[in-house]
A and B are shown apart, each in its own frame.
Chain A
Amino acid sequence: MTEKISNNDFYFAIACFIQSSVLITSYTVSEIQQETWFIAILAFVISVFIVLLYSWLIKRFQGQGLYDVLYIAYGKIFGKILVFSYLLFFLLVLSVNIRDTADFSIVYILPDMHLWLVIVSFTALVFFAVQSGIQNLVRYGFVFFFITSLILLINLVLLSERIDFSNFLPLFSFDFIKYLKGTQFVTSVSFCETIVFLTLAPFIEQPAKISKTFIIGIILGFISLVIIVFCEIAVLGATVSILSTPYYAAVRLISTFDVFTRLETLFSFLLLVMKFFKISILFFAVSTAISKLINKKLNLFSNLLTAVLVIIVSLNFVDSNIELQNFGGSIYPFVLSTFEILLPIITFCIIKFKKL
């Protein structure tokens, strides 16, 4: 019998997944600056409705994962095409995250290291984690979430001497289109990437209670996002517009009594751990899609194939970190919105229309 994941573990895993997405929020905060908090609230409200849609899908087809639902809703041929599309989508998200983590490691931690070596080592680690059972990893979400929350709170306290509340002013000073773009970005990048958890749906202990689980998960993730955005705006003010990693830059300013300094080391550690968690879940989603397409159970072959694909794509889909940043701020959010918001809504309509 397949090992189940309790609903409590599941919402900590969702919160942990969102935390790893929001640790780097440079795009939104550089565009909307002092009003990113407002965007965060808007994005959260929209995301609540979207995750309720995800929950409905899980409850409607209990014991089935995302790919099974696609087969049911779209039939064998279109279902296969859509499963393949989701495979490419999760592979892209996975590669962006691995590349981002590797670039961060090279810039801030291991400046003389080769990019390929970091990517291969990280992928190997993720491969072993998924191979050992994704359920085991999901259970550690609770630990990762509390460590991250604790470090975020410590940083908040230590940054308090640099906080300037006037940095949140003026209110509502940007064009409507900027709010729209910002909301779309935060909704798709920070919250709705949790669509990946639909691939874990067959392992949920109580699928009937999934709405509550999803909502608690994104509330916990939202609180982390608010703390991070608060620190960035209150401490950095107008400078957020030019910094590539604002939260990291804010943490680097901590110098309390000349004792608590260089706390960015903790942040770097945190980022690597959280990215490991997120990347492992995405890795599982890609591997599951491969096994669904070849009609085999998840096994060593699909995991190995995923690892090879990830290494190849993340090393080659952009030439540099500058290209990755441009991609992240331009096309990427639209790709995310298509697969995280548009397709699930279409799927919902088809299911309702066909009365499945």
Chain B
Amino acid sequence: MKKIICFMLSLLLLSGCSSRREIDTLPVVLGFGIDDRDNGIEITSQIALPSNIVSNGGTAQKENSSPYVNLTSVGDYIFPAIHSSSTMLGSELYMAHNLLVVFGQKIAEDGLEKYMDFFLRDHELRMNMFMLVTDGEAKDILSVESDFAILPSIHIAKQLATQKETSLGVASDMFDFLYCLSSGRRSPLLPLIHIIENGDDKPTLQLQGTAVFSGDKMIGTLDSYETRGYLWATKNDVNTVLISSVYGEPVSIESLNSTNDIRFSEKNGKIFADIKVTTAGNIGSIRGKANLFSVDWIEKLEEEVSKNIKQEILAAVSKSKELKSDFFGFEDMLYKHNYDTWKKYSKNVDKIIEKIEVNVTVDTKILESGRIKYTIGAK
């Protein structure tokens, strides 16, 4: 009896992997692009072709033929369009390693929620994939090759990771975007990516500026300074380069670390948000005849840097009010830290951002002057 049971079970359990997917034939998707078309949406899937990538001393290199293929398909909705790509390819797309999704501006203005649903629901995809918006075509973005990475998607993902480290701009993943939509108290931001034409040379990709959303719809943009203003107020350790002018002489400051604190108070039917930023930095370069040993000069520099940071923050706040988009997350902070005030205003006001008055205080400390004590012309 036992032998018969064992035999029957082995038939069931040891029959091999009927649904196996071999790695060399797996169409691994590393990036998606979504563009608006008259007859629906166009999905571009960037699929890596491992057989066209050779390994040279541990480094992956391109063979003569392309290491990837961009597959496009059109459909009314995202899921049928991706299915259509699989049919075209003759194999189901493998999306577990997808790095990013690029949305065309028209798609972003139309609202991203209906597209995100697929990316969140599918069991292969992860929430830490980057999201970007382009003012051109997402399909073109995924076709711009770089000498620094073997695939365009990998290159963009590297740029975004660096952007996240250096605070040059926002680098949102799908989880960040989902958080904003789920809470309903914070408007999302996504990085903007552009193609830069270089005459006869190959075009390159540049991350510059930020797409501003209200809910899931893109409603405007922030330039680089406004983006940095947002980062000063909301993120710690903004690592960036600032140019300030002391007595007419431009000085470059490398900000090493920064902290921020936002406190709320309520008076006469208005909510006051006091943003306090503290930053420390080193002098990167000076043009002119500065005397670094003068207390007055250093204090003036610190004052100027503080003024510049404050201007950037206020520019971003002004854009937030103009677009009625609470991308700073004031309402979310109010909900978490001043729940009673939030409850009072959320019932009566459509957008709490309109009721918020922002005060900014910046405290800057210059720490190091570098390896030279004077400027070249000062002695």
> Bound pair: A and B?
yes
Q: Please, what's the 1-or-0 string for B105-133, where 1 marks a CB less than 8 Å from any CB in chain A?
A: 00000000000000010010011100000
Q: Are A169 and B337 also in contact (CB < 8 A) when A111-B19, A112-B19, A241-B182 are?
A: yes
Q: Are A170 and B335 also in contact (CB < 8 A) when A110-B19, A112-B19, A121-B12 are?
A: yes
Q: Are A173 and B339 also in contact (CB < 8 A) when A108-B123, A111-B19 are?
A: yes
A107 interfacial by beta-carbon distance below 8 Å:
yes
Check A242–B182 contact: CB distance below 8 A. Answer: yes
A120 interfacial by beta-carbon distance below 8 Å:
yes
User: In the complex the two chains form, what is the Cα distance from A169 to B179 in whole Å?
Assistant: 15
User: In the complex the two chains form, what is the Cα distance from A23 to B128 in whole Å?
Assistant: 22
Check B128–A239 contact: CB distance below 8 A. Answer: no
Max count, chain B CB within 10 A of own CB: residue among A107, A166, A238: A238
Chain B neighbourhood of A110, CB < 8 A: 19
B336 interfacial by beta-carbon distance below 8 Å:
yes
Check A166–B337 contact: CB distance below 8 A. Answer: yes
Question: Closest chain B residue to A162 by CB distance?
Answer: B175
User: In the complex the two chains form, what is the Cα distance from A107 to B128 in whole Å?
Assistant: 20
The smallest beta-carbon distance between B289 and chain A, in angstroms, is 45
Chain B contact residues: helix, strand, loop or mixed: helix
Q: Which of A117, A124, A169, A252 contacts B127 (CB 8 A)?
A: A252
Chain A neighbourhood of B13, CB < 8 A: 121
B178 interfacial by beta-carbon distance below 8 Å:
yes
Chain A neighbourhood of B367, CB < 8 A: none
Q: Are A117 and B335 also in contact (CB < 8 A) when A107-B123, A239-B182, A249-B127 are?
A: no
Check A239–B337 contact: CB distance below 8 A. Answer: no
B18 interfacial by beta-carbon distance below 8 Å:
yes
Chain B neighbourhood of A113, CB < 8 A: 19
User: In the complex the two chains form, what is the Cα distance from A120 to B337 in whole Å?
Assistant: 52
Check B182–A238 contact: CB distance below 8 A. Answer: yes
Q: Please, what's the 1-or-0 string for A117-157, where 1 marks a CB less than 8 Å from any CB in chain B?
A: 10011001000000000000000000000000000000000
Check A255–B128 contact: CB distance below 8 A. Answer: yes
Check B179–A252 contact: CB distance below 8 A. Answer: no
Question: Closest chain A residue to B335 by CB distance?
Answer: A170
Check A169–B336 contact: CB distance below 8 A. Answer: yes
Chain A neighbourhood of B183, CB < 8 A: 237-238
The smallest beta-carbon distance between B210 and chain A, in angstroms, is 21
Q: Which of B9, B12, B18 contacts A112 (CB 8 A)?
A: B18
Question: Closest chain A residue to B183 by CB distance?
Answer: A238
A253 interfacial by beta-carbon distance below 8 Å:
yes
Chain B neighbourhood of A255, CB < 8 A: 128
Check A124–B19 contact: CB distance below 8 A. Answer: no
User: In the complex the two chains form, what is the Cα distance from A166 to B186 in whole Å?
Assistant: 14
Chain A neighbourhood of B127, CB < 8 A: 249, 252-253
Q: Which of B12, B123, B128, B333 contacts A111 (CB 8 A)?
A: B123
Check A252–B126 contact: CB distance below 8 A. Answer: yes
Check A239–B123 contact: CB distance below 8 A. Answer: no
Chain B neighbourhood of A111, CB < 8 A: 19, 123
User: In the complex the two chains form, what is the Cα distance from A242 to B335 in whole Å?
Assistant: 19
Question: Closest chain B residue to A166 by CB distance?
Answer: B336
List which A74-122 residues lie within 8 A (CB) of chain B. Answer: 107-108, 110-113, 117, 120-121
Chain B neighbourhood of A242, CB < 8 A: 120, 178, 182
Give me 11 A-to-B residue pairs in the complex whose CB atoms sit less than 8 angstroms apart, sorted by A's number.
A121-B9, A121-B13, A166-B336, A169-B335, A237-B182, A238-B183, A242-B178, A252-B126, A252-B127, A253-B127, A255-B128
By a beta-carbon cutoff of 8 Å, the part of chain A in contact with chain B is 107-108, 110-113, 117, 120-121, 124, 166, 169-170, 173, 237-239, 241-242, 249, 252-253, 255
Give the 10 A-B residue pairs with the shortest CB-CB distance, closest first: A112-B19, A170-B339, A238-B183, A169-B336, A238-B182, A239-B182, A166-B336, A239-B178, A252-B126, A107-B123
Known: A108-B123, A169-B339, A237-B179. 6 other contacts (CB 8 A): A166-B333, A170-B336, A170-B339, A249-B127, A252-B127, A253-B126
